[in-house]
């Protein structure tokens, strides 16, 4: 006997509503609903600003020959690409489940995380200063959108804090270039460019690691303790012989999926045990599939 809570059995035909449908009308409705949200319009606005300013930085870096400003321009364009992927992920997350994607499209928000000479002109400092202000405004404005990068552990919180600080650090470092050149440090521009590359790599590595764990369907560390206690408690229920082949993973940040086999005695009331076990996991597992096996039907 198999009971599915929110899994494949949760799929329902599309009605073409605000967030549903895999056809043309469903997608149009999803786009319309997305653009009606203030957060979505803010993403579009900042994408346009970052894209335009990134191109301006690149042009100025090319004309002035500043490697540091060139690196900063790539950083700004990277932010613009990140915003565009965020918007796409927000759109996909609004689509309803389909026969091929029975859990919906929330994991698109996770996948989106993978796709983020001499200079003597003081204008570099001006462009960098504007970039500092732009990044600060963007960071403050998008605090409500932290849902797309919801954290699951203190270590991930530290990584996110470092990502925010690194954005500011890279921009501020670019402002220092004119002073270094004025003081006779000809290698200053190159040093700042290398610093920018190292910072971007340092930020991307832990983010890719955490996102990879989600995509590989590993058991999140944040629920391991609670999961172990719940499985042990379920195995102690009257009539239950064992829980086996359990697999729990994150569909998207803070949304977990789980399945396991529950071996019970022949005379056990399946529905009663199923209800008790389901209630045990309902507090932290949104999609739960339990396969009930009678004692005589169990094969090692």
Contact 215, 249 (CB under 8 A): no
3 state SS of 122: coil
**CATH number of the domain within which 286 lies:** 3.30.70.1350
Same domain, 42 and 139: yes
Token pair for 107: 């994991």
Confidence (pLDDT) at 247: 92
CA distance 64 to 264: 75
**Residue of 265, 259, 253, 254 whose CA lies nearest to 287:** 259
- Residue 18 lies inside a defined structural domain of this protein: no
> To the nearest whole percent, how much of the chain has pLDDT over 90?
3
Per-residue pLDDT of 267-283, as tens digits, reads: 888 888 889 999 999 88
Token pair for 98: 């389909």
Q: End-to-end alpha-carbon separation of the chain, Å?
A: 18
* pLDDT at 51 > cutoff 50: yes
3 state SS of 259: strand
Q: How many domains does the chain have?
A: 2
Backbone region of residue 212 per phi and psi (left: phi > 0; alpha: psi in -120 to 50; beta: other values): alpha
- Residue 155 lies inside a defined structural domain of this protein: no
Contact 254, 107 (CB under 8 A): no
Name the residue range of residue 29's domain: 25-147+165-216
Confidence (pLDDT) at 118: 36
Which of the residue ranges 32-41, 54-63, 171-180, 254-263 would you say has the lowest mean pLDDT? Answer: 171-180
- Residue 33 lies inside a defined structural domain of this protein: yes
Confidence (pLDDT) at 127: 55
- Residue 235 lies inside a defined structural domain of this protein: yes
Same domain, 239 and 208: no
60 compared with 157, residue with greater pLDDT:
60
CA distance 96 to 103: 9
Confidence (pLDDT) at 298: 46
Looking at residues 55-69, what average pLDDT do you find?
77
> To the nearest whole percent, how much of the chain has pLDDT over 70?
60
Per-residue pLDDT of 94-153, as tens digits, reads: 777 778 777 777 777 666 655 543 343 444 555 555 655 665 665 555 544 444 444 444
């Amino acid at each position: 006997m198999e009971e599915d809570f929110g899994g494949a059995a949760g799929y329902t035909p599309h009605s073409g509503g605000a967030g549903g449908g895999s056809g043309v009308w469903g997608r149009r409705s999803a786009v319309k609903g997305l653009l009606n949200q203030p957060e979505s319009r803010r993403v579009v606005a900042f994408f346009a600003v970052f894209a335009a300013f990134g191109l301006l930085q690149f042009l100025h870096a090319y004309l002035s020959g500043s490697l540091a400003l060139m690196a900063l321009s790539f950083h700004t364009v990277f932010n613009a690409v990140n915003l565009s992927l965020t918007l796409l992920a927000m759109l996909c997350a609004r689509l309803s489940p389909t026969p091929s994607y029975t859990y919906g499209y929330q994991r698109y928000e996770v996948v989106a995380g993978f796709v983020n000479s001499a200079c003597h002109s003081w204008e570099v400092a001006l462009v960098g200063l504007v970039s500092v202000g732009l990044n600060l405004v963007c960071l403050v404005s998008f605090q409500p959108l932290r849902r797309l990068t919801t954290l699951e552990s203190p270590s991930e919180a530290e990584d996110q804090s470092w990502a925010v600080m690194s954005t500011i650090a890279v921009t501020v470092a670019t402002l220092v270039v004119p002073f270094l050149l004025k003081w006779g440090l000809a290698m200053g521009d190159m040093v700042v460019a290398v610093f920018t590359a190292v910072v971007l790599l340092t930020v991307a590595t832990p983010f890719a690691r955490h996102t990879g764990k989600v995509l590989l369907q590993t058991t999140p560390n944040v629920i391991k303790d609670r999961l172990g206690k719940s499985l042990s408690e379920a195995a102690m229920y009257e009539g239950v012989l064992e829980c086996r082949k359990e697999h729990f993973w994150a569909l998207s940040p803070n949304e977990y999926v789980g399945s396991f086999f529950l071996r019970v005695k022949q005379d056990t009331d399946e529905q009663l045990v199923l209800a008790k076990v389901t209630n045990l996991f309902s507090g932290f597992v949104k999609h739960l599939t339990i396969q009930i096996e009678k004692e005589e039907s169990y094969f090692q």
